[in-house]
Amino acid sequence: MHDSITIAQANFALNLIRETCLEETNVISPISISFALGMVLLGAKGNTAKEIQDAIAKDRKDKHYTKNDEIHNHLLKTYNFMGKNHDTIKIANKIYFKENLHLYESYEMNIRNFYNGNFQFTDFSNTQKATNEINEFVADATNNEIKDIIDMVDENVLMILVNALYFERRWENPFTLHSSYSLFYSKPGVTKGLIMMSNEGLYNYAAKENYEFLEIPYINNSFSMFIILPNEKFGLSEVLKSLKITEVLDLMFSTKLIQGNVTIPKFNAKSSFELSQVLKHLNIKDAFNEEMADFSGTTDSKISISRFLHKVIVKVDEKGTKAAAATVVEDILISYDEYANSFTFNADHPFLYLIADKAKNIYFVGTFYG
């Protein structure tokens, strides 16, 4: 069994990739987006708060917004887990406020308590200096993987919220690179030559009705990559539509291992999004509406979200994975056979992948189309 907040956050991750996939290679960081929305939520009231709550933690047990809300406690627990694994993952939260903007002490306190967030009052009229400061903060937090999260600060902005996340981990069992290119079937009639990598060993594997599931653990087994490979070469869109997140959570970190031969591509994925419309599709609407937004728990000034920027980079090779994410919020059983002797897993067509920790928090989720 999984607690309600874990299921809710996993559903949020799946909904995000469904909204952003568009049948091409894309990657997002649900946990980064959740941290950013969590910091926004701390200062939200009324329907603005309810819409954010329902998007990132629908059907959770705690239906009331308080500083001890289940959402914030869950994210705090995740943050503390990251702190214990600082050699693998780094996270940084910071809020830039317009000079002389009055913040409520309770908001500042909660940001520090739940998100270890830092504050900086900034002269946004000096747009180039403010832009450089934010980009330098993100670059430092992501080991220079992300250098330009924001193009230019709007001088009329009141608040800019930044979350940055960096992940680097080696495989428990490194792969062997192929010496030549192999065909990858991207779309009907479209193939690409990609460098593939292979390994043999014991894996958590399941063959479901319309997809294969594979777990590839990172060293020390606190994180894993999970790949969902459709049975049909071009069936990823249909799998995404029908996928049940509880089924995926049940399969994660199983101790029933099967001997297998695994082949996956070496790949890099990079995505940049302005997520306002995506979040509106997930029913976070009032926060972006100048008239309806209620952030009266943040400041006595009238504010709303004008932009929600999100950038992610994932690099997967034979040694392991590097990944970075940054989010900026700007205000103005057919199948599971545990007795199988062996399996062959060949990811030569579009697939879904997730990177998660032992508590089944999803840090990155992406679609790969070659």
Q: Is residue 47 very low, low, confident or very high in pLDDT (cuts 50, 70, 90)?
A: very high
Specify whether the CB–CB gap between 167 and 321 falls below 8 A.
Answer: yes
Q: Which fold has domain 4-169+268-331?
A: Antithrombin; Chain I, domain 2 (3.30.497)
pLDDT of residue 213: 97
Measured between alpha carbons, how far is 276 from 246 in angstroms, rounded to an integer?
27
Q: Which tokens go with 149?
A: 């999260």
Q: Model pTM?
A: 0.89
Q: Which tokens go with 72?
A: 């914030």
pLDDT tens-digit map of 204-239: 999 999 999 999 999 888 899 999 999 999 999 999
Domain locations in the chain? 4-169+268-331, 171-266+334-368
Residue 52, H or E segment: helix 46-56
Architecture of domain 171-266+334-368: Roll (2.30)
Region of poorest pLDDT, from 33-42, 75-84, 125-134, 207-216: 75-84
How confident is the prediction for the chain on average, in pLDDT? 87
Single-letter amino acid, residue 88: T
User: Average of pLDDT values for 144-153?
Assistant: 87
Region of poorest pLDDT, from 64-73, 211-220, 245-254: 64-73
Closest by Cα among 361, 321, 353 to 229: 353
Measured between alpha carbons, how far is 112 from 275 in angstroms, rounded to an integer?
25
